[in-house]
Structure 1
Amino acid sequence: MEDVRDLIQIMTRRFGFLNKNCCSVGGVNLSVVQSQILYEIDRQHKPSIQQVAEALGTDITTFSRQVQSLMKMNLVKKTPTPEDRRVFELSLTTEGTFVAATIDQQMNAYLNEIFSHMNDFERETVIRSVKLLNKAMSKAGQCCAPTQG
């Protein structure tokens, strides 16, 4: 059997997940984490800070720092909810919406290019396999979690 970890490592490198900056849009350089935050804010409708942090599986302290940096770049705004002024919801600014849409277009173009090198059966097999892998991963424990002792 092939070394699965090696296959995942190669895919991770080819997607650029290890790069300091994954995306550059109009002079704005974003890390993979920042790109994921924009994606989640765009995907959810005015999510709370906690909702996005949970969706990304990151601790709230690290997440808050990333949100602050995105606010300084004028990509994200944080607004207290009317129901509870201690809870903040996140939304994209006009510039943030543009950056998120541009990244989405770039990723879709890249995926389309990748899939253009496959026939329909191969493409469907890969998509079905990724769905199966995601489902199995959702049932498994967390990778590289600190050990309790």
Structure 2
Amino acid sequence: MGESILDFQLEQAIGLNVNRTAFLMTEEISRRFAASGYPLSAQDFGILFRLMKQGAMTQVEIVQLLMRDKTTITRRIDGLVKKGLVERKPCQEDRRCFRVALTTEGELALEVMIPLVRDFQQEVLSDIPDDEKAITIRTLKSISERLLKIR
């Protein structure tokens, strides 16, 4: 017979630990963004960063890339538009869709935010050896790929 359900250790569950770590990291980086004059979430940063790296995208492309639901991304983009960090431009090939693009103000925000993220990661990970960081990233990517296959 298998293990008893009483033997299950929730504290050892990968999902719980990944979720807790992600929560703590996103809360702290959002606090640091706000302290530097940009009251934005980690999700907002993710959108801005992807737009910087990949250029203008449709909201559907952003949803797929960031693996978030359409409603959340629409709400986040609405907030970024109100703050002047992104703009919606009609798609040339289909006037019914819009492409989201960084504004100059969005680019300036990233010039402040990217060093904050880089410094924060260095601070949080400073005492973890590089090989352990690499193994952790590789393992998490492997788990993500497996989960995408079983969806």
Q: Deviations over 1:66-120 (max 9, x none)?
A: 2121111010011112222222111111111122233222222222233321223
* RMSD, aligned α-carbons: 2.7
Q: Which residue among 32, 48, 59 is the counterpart of 2:42? A: 32
Q: Match of 2:70? A: 60
Give 1 or 2 for the bigger CA radius of gyration. Answer: 2
Is 1:51 the counterpart of 2:43 in the alignment? no
Query: Which of residues 122, 127, 135 is equivalent to 1:112?
Result: 122
Gaps of 5+ in 1: 142-149
C-alpha distance in 1 between matches for 2:48 and 2:22? 20
The count of corresponding residues between Structure 1 and Structure 2 is 141
- Aligned sequence identity (%): 24
User: Structure 2 length normalisation: TM-score?
Assistant: 0.74
Which consecutive unaligned segments of at least 5 residues does structure 2 have?
1-8
- After TM superposition, the runs of 4+ consecutive aligned structure 1 residues lying more than 4 A away are 17-22
2:78 is the counterpart of 1:92: no
Deviations 1:101-149 (A, max 9, x none): 33222222222233321223323322322322332232243xxxxxxxx
Preserved contact between residue 22 and residue 31 of structure 1 (Cα < 8 Å): no
Aligned-partner Cα distance in 2 for 1:107–1:20: 10
- Cα distance in 1 for partners of 2:110, 2:30 equals 18
Matched, 1:121 2:121: no
Q: Which amino acid aligns with 1:90?
A: V
TM-score (norm 1): 0.75
Match of 2:22 among 6, 12, 26: 12
Distance 1:102 1:137 in 2: 34
Structure with greater helix share of residues: 2
